[in-house]
A and B are shown apart, each in its own frame.
Chain A
Amino acid sequence: MSYVKSLKCRECGRTYPKKPIYVCEWCFGPLEVVYDYKRIKKVLTREKISSREKNLWRYKELLPIDKEPMVGLNSGFTPFFEAKNLSKVLGAKKIFIKDDSVNHPTLSFKDRVVAVALSKAKEFGFKTVACASTGNLANSVSSHSKQAGFNCYVFIPANLEKSKIVSSLIYGVNLIAVDGNYDDVNRLCGEIASKYKWAFVNVNLRPYYAEGSKTYGFEIVEQLGWRVPKHIIVPAASGSLLTKIYKGIKEFKQLGLIKKSDTKFHIAQADGCSPIVSALKQNCDIIKPVKPNTIAKSLAIGNPADGFYVIDIVKKTGGFGEVATDEEIVEGIKLLAETEGIFTETAGGVTVAVCKKLVESKKISKDEEIVICITGNGLKTQEAVENKIGRPIKIKPNIKSFEEEVRVWL
């Protein structure tokens, strides 16, 4: 049963039928899924959600599918926990981590959006799926496409981390490495998408795809005991994740599943690619695109499509934007590993570093609860840290060598 009424332009409000389309024909604004909340309110309760299996489909009434989910049945419901050691080091009372570095099956939050996008692609009857990606989406589309039986074309910037390339190729998909940055890849895919009748998950399936990110926010609320945190720090590339966590929280409030929705949204970007934070700091209405230059390649989108909406949400909730340099990103990755035992990718390093800055500068009160979004896994971006960590201590296979080379604390 479907609770989706239509698609609607976020800019001018024109409505469109449920089709694989993504921009308003009139003003080119992005299309957004509109639900029948009155009907959903009648059927969706905390108890009902809690009784379901622990994956993202436990919120299926708030996801844009018309049939039962068909792809990505094990994605979502990742760990959420209090990071006591990290809180102590940063001098904050309570920091929580939402850990999508162990999302199923490809270790990033993209498994959420792809589960939704490919389920929708099945409903629409597509045979071929495709995407433009900074790496994590490529891995997730590649993996899910095989499980679901699609042909698959994945487009990436040629200079991606080796592990993100291997983690797509292993599935035997068509991986196209474009000589350019992500924004070049995106432009090309926009043109390819209008010529080939494929399901481009982040182009013509974008309204559906992006809705999957809401489940990251739904889970935080549910795992926190059906309430919202005071602060949330979200890393941003195009900015879609932040806008969808916000939308999800507002939906829960509208459905009466939570009482308050007063979370302050903070945005974290890399210093070498911070078009949204720059516009925020300069209080500027225009987002000037940039040429990315950062080790955080998963956040290296110089022309962020949802930037305007991110700025709007950060401002109206009373949040801030902050950036992390390459050095701070590496320190952030190491800090999370050494305090909480979690190896996150560069985007996670950005988030941890920005959390540190916001607490130190008192933009976030150390006495208030903070949730940080860890969206990807460090095993995929090992190049970023491999020369900045310790080396193995080499010894011969005997006790003497061990005691000579290793300082043992008894």
Chain B
Amino acid sequence: MVVKIRIPTPLQKLTDGKSEVESSGKTVIQLIDELEKKYSGIKERLCDEKGNIRRFINIFVNEKDIRFLKGQKTKLKNGDEISIIPAIAGG
């Protein structure tokens, strides 16, 4: 199973400049562990010391905020598209 992840600019240095990568994982947090194997250092950027996703990072699975799903335990399936987006101010 393969999912597509859109990488935000600040993290592209860790993904050899790629703005989109593919990986796998049954859940969002497992996906981050998988990414870490390939792109060392990415996990500590996305997660705090306790292993939770940092509070100013929003993760979307197929355009849905994972906080409306099961958070970092949100299940993933083949073909899902993941976006990692920093929180944005109001307007």
List residues of chain A with CB under 8 Å of any chain B CB. 11, 22-30, 110, 131-134, 136-138, 182-184, 186-187, 189-191, 194, 201-203, 206, 209-210, 237-240, 286, 288-289, 291, 301, 303-306, 308
Whole-angstrom CA separation of A210 from B6 in the bound complex? 27
> Count of B residues near A, CB < 8 Å?
24
Whole-angstrom CA separation of A238 from B87 in the bound complex? 10
Picked from B9, B10, B67, B89, the residue with its CB within 8 Å of the CB of A206 is B89
Selected A-B contacts with CB under 8 Å, 5 pairs? A29-B54, A133-B91, A183-B65, A202-B91, A305-B90
- Give the 6 A-B residue pairs with the shortest CB-CB distance, closest first: A238-B90, A137-B91, A305-B87, A25-B10, A133-B91, A23-B86
Interface residues of B in 28-67 (CB under 8 A from A): 45, 54-58, 60, 63, 65, 67
The reply to whether A27 and B54 contact each other, CB–CB distance below 8 Å, is: yes
- Given the contacts A28-B57, A194-B8, A202 and B89 also touching, CB distance less than 8 Å: yes
Whole-angstrom CA separation of A183 from B19 in the bound complex? 22
Contacts of B56 in A (CB 8 A): 11, 23, 27-30, 305
Whole-angstrom CA separation of A288 from B69 in the bound complex? 11
| CB closest chain-A residue, reference B55 | A308
Contacts of A184 in B (CB 8 A): 63
Whole-angstrom CA separation of A288 from B68 in the bound complex? 9
**How near does chain B come to A184, taking the closest CB pair, in angstroms?**
7
Contacts of A202 in B (CB 8 A): 88-91
- Given the contacts A23-B10, A194-B8, A303-B65, A187 and B90 also touching, CB distance less than 8 Å: no
- Given the contacts A183-B65, A191-B85, A303-B65, A28 and B90 also touching, CB distance less than 8 Å: no
| CB closest chain-B residue, reference A180 | B63
**How near does chain A come to B23, taking the closest CB pair, in angstroms?**
19
The reply to whether A186 and B9 contact each other, CB–CB distance below 8 Å, is: no
**How near does chain B come to A237, taking the closest CB pair, in angstroms?**
4
The reply to whether A210 and B86 contact each other, CB–CB distance below 8 Å, is: no
**How near does chain B come to A164, taking the closest CB pair, in angstroms?**
12
**How near does chain B come to A137, taking the closest CB pair, in angstroms?**
4
